[in-house]
Amino acid sequence: MDRLELIEVAGNSYVVSGKYGIGVYLDRSSKTAVCIDSGPNAAVIEKVCTRISDRGYQILAVVHTHGHAVNHGGNLYLKKRFPNLRIYATHLASFLIENPHLEPLVFEAGGESDTKPDQNKENADALVTDYLPSADGIFHVHTIPFKIVSLPGHSPGMVGFVTPDHVLYCGDALFGPKTLNKQDLLFFNDLRAARKSFKKLSMMKLNAYVLYHGGAFKTVTSLINKHLTLMKDTSAFLEALIHEQPSTLEQLVQQVMKKYKFEDDLHRYGLTTSIIRSYVKELLQEKRIVAKVDNGLLLFSKSAATI
């Protein structure tokens, strides 16, 4: 693995180089550091810890944007190294952080999991210590004020954090160009909420935005537009399929996996099902399709108004 560095975003706000945009805020007066998310595993966060301690700082807390495994995999290592570590998360995120075996259920991957049961048990040693509201507001880690920005859409209860340097760490509310170039199907579980979060992000006055998959950006307008285009394409593809022929969720998933040339594996299937369900939900909300049960099968079809 490459050497990880702390890249200065603005003032005391940093982002870790490499695949995972872990945030680091260094409080110069107290020589303490706050991590924003903790990476996928001990190996990554250990390197981050080394960079932080090289500068003479101690990690005081980790604040979580949401509860996906790649965002909290470093907690156990941090807790062992810093026994007084505070772990902050919203109630919804902490549900997944403290019960990582539930994540595959959320993705509906048929119970397949990369997390072994003993790792789940060990996670009981790195429980969330401080619950955050999912609504906008301010909280303090020791004396450092952070602003919570509610950003639902990708994962329930997802939030971003604004540091005193006006840098917003926005988790997976947006994905960076690398992800957008290789992935046409974006992971959002509530598209309406995601669109609202995009609008909110574009209207905020900030020095920079940090994406967990993509790093730091001065502005995000063109990224947002790329997200909207990809979402529109997926939605139009599904609507056309459904208009052509009444379809079940499984048939839609099959067509999407074919279109994007996804490999046949349980995790990919589970993720795709979860994403397609959110698109179908939006098409239903907008009355572009209807749902009915026919002979025990849930079928989506053209709505009467569009015939």
Interface residues with Zn ion (CB under 5 A) are 68, 172
CB of 66 to Zn ion, least distance (A): 6
Nearer to Zn ion by Cβ, of 183 and 245: the residue is 183
Among candidate residues 49, 125, 141, the one with its CA nearest the CA of residue 89 = 141
CB of 33 to Zn ion, least distance (A): 23
CB of 111 to Zn ion, least distance (A): 20
Nearer to Zn ion by Cβ, of 51 and 68: the residue is 68
CB of 32 to Zn ion, least distance (A): 27
Please spell the DSSP secondary structure of 145-206, one letter per residue: EEEEEE-TTSSTT-EEEE-TTSEEE-TTSS--HHHHHH-SS---S-HHHHHHHHHHHHH---
Nearer to Zn ion by Cβ, of 107 and 300: the residue is 107
Nearer to Zn ion by Cβ, of 57 and 188: the residue is 188
Nearer to Zn ion by Cβ, of 96 and 256: the residue is 96
CB of 183 to Zn ion, least distance (A): 13
CB of 187 to Zn ion, least distance (A): 7
Nearer to Zn ion by Cβ, of 19 and 288: the residue is 19
CB of 102 to Zn ion, least distance (A): 14
CB of 117 to Zn ion, least distance (A): 23
Nearer to Zn ion by Cβ, of 51 and 66: the residue is 66
Q: Which residue is nearest to Zn ion (CB)?
A: 68
The residues, ordered by sequence, that sit 6+ positions from 226 with a Cβ below 8 Å of its Cβ are: 177, 180
Nearer to Zn ion by Cβ, of 96 and 241: the residue is 96
Asked whether the beta carbons of 14 and 167 are under 8 A apart, the reply is: no
Please spell the DSSP secondary structure of the chain, one letter per residue: -PPP-EEEEETTEEEESSSS--EEEEETTTTEEEEES--SSHHHHHHHHHHHHHTT-EEEEEE-S---HHHHTTHHHHHHH-TT-EEEEEHHHHHHHH-GGGHHHHHT-TT--SS-HHHHHHGGGS---EEE-SSSEEEEETTEEEEEEE-TTSSTT-EEEE-TTSEEE-TTSS--HHHHHH-SS---S-HHHHHHHHHHHHH---SEEEETTTEEES--HHHHHHHHHHHHHHHHHHHHHHHHS-B-HHHHHHHHHHHTT----HHHHHHHHHHHHHHHHHHHHTTSEEEEEETTEEEEEE-GGG-
Asked whether the beta carbons of 219 and 178 are under 8 A apart, the reply is: no
CB of 18 to Zn ion, least distance (A): 17
Nearer to Zn ion by Cβ, of 172 and 190: the residue is 172
